[in-house]
Structure 1
């Protein structure tokens, strides 16, 4: 007998209940729910080729700057995020933990509902070789940093830097949309 996975159950309930802002996001929500309904280990790296990940875009309390990390492997600017770990109780816990660990800011305030969903392939991540593609089904949250926040670059990043929302580095379109969503939540 397999014991129920409370993180899986939380993610499934969160995504079933989430009200997507548009048809594209609702299509992703439907895809994520179907993945979890069909895949008992869908929260974990063992799920191939897709698995759920979570993270957060950190924004300052004035809504004027976002904190991004220059990802060590991808060498591009992203929000904070990553894989589920055994101690995570909820999907929001995954996002909050990843944001705290990767930003170095311990007292972030996570907005409790997901802000955006995204699917992205992760090259060179599969030990079976380059012909295999792993996809992250990413649930993105927003975290608000206190005015006194001091960021720290973690070992997963080449750099962590505050960017003005009107002077962002080159980002994927979904990240630009997420910045707009984050500003509306501050």
Structure 2
């Protein structure tokens, strides 16, 4: 799947005037997210997204003043979870995904080309935010009970060392 996503992302980057513009709905735009590992190394941070109603990794749009997609991912993690002290496993891409978003309210159905980064929290304390219903730390074994799909399970397995 990641190889196919890589090709789709390269096509978007080549064809779009501004592939990071959140108003570009055809076919979509880049987003950035973070898979944050708990200080114990055994859990990952997920948020119950208010608009989507599902558990996903923290993330969102790349803003014009974000220096890079990595910085956007860190900003989104901080905004959605209140975690201040996080550091990168690496600043390089950890995972990629392309998924459908929108189709209700003021956003037409479009694609999110998600650039994903692996991060480590130095402090596990979470603070609530209006964008999410809840945030929590979960083991790989917890994911089935949360109903998360493969686009979340696969990178969680990778970041916790249980996947490829």
TM-score (norm 2): 0.88
Q: Which ranges in structure 1 are unaligned for 5 or more consecutive residues?
A: 1-23
Cα distance, 1:125 vs structure 2: 5.0
Q: Note if contact 1:126-1:134 (Cα within 8 Å) is conserved in structure 2.
A: no
Match of 2:30 among 52, 68, 89: 52
Aligned equivalent of 2:12, options 35, 50, 67 = 35
SS of alignment partner, residue 167 of structure 1: helix
SS in 2 for 1:94: helix
Q: Kindly state the Cα deviation for residue 66 of structure 1 after the two structures are TM-superposed.
A: 1.2
Q: Which ranges in structure 2 are unaligned for 5 or more consecutive residues? A: none
Q: Is the 8 A contact 1:126 1:133 kept in 2?
A: no
Q: Does 1:133 align with 2:109?
A: yes
Tell me the matched-pair count. Answer: 158
Counterpart check, 1:73 vs 2:57:
no
Structure of larger gyration radius:
1
Superposition RMSD in Å: 1.8
Q: Is the 8 A contact 1:92 1:141 kept in 2?
A: yes
Structure 2 counterparts to residues 159-170 of structure 1, below 5 A: 159-168=134-143, 169-170=146-147
The 3 A distance-change label for structure 1 pair 144 and 99 is: same
Paired with 2:100 and 2:88, the residues of 1 have a C-alpha distance of 26
Deviation (angstroms), 1:69: 0.6
TM-score (norm 1): 0.79
**1:64 aligned counterpart, secondary structure:** coil
Does 2:64 match 1:89? no
* Alpha-carbon distance in 1 for matches of 2:32, 2:105: 19
The equivalences for 1:166-177 within 5 A come to 166-168=141-143, 169-177=146-154
The DSSP-based 3-state class of the residue aligned with 2:160 is helix
How far the C-alpha of 1:52 sits from its partner, in A, is 0.3
The corresponding residue for 1:121 is 100
Distance in 2, Cα, partners of 1:152 & 1:64 = 20
Deviation, structure 1 residue 59 = 1.2
Distance in 2 (alpha carbons) for counterparts of 1:27 and 1:178: 16
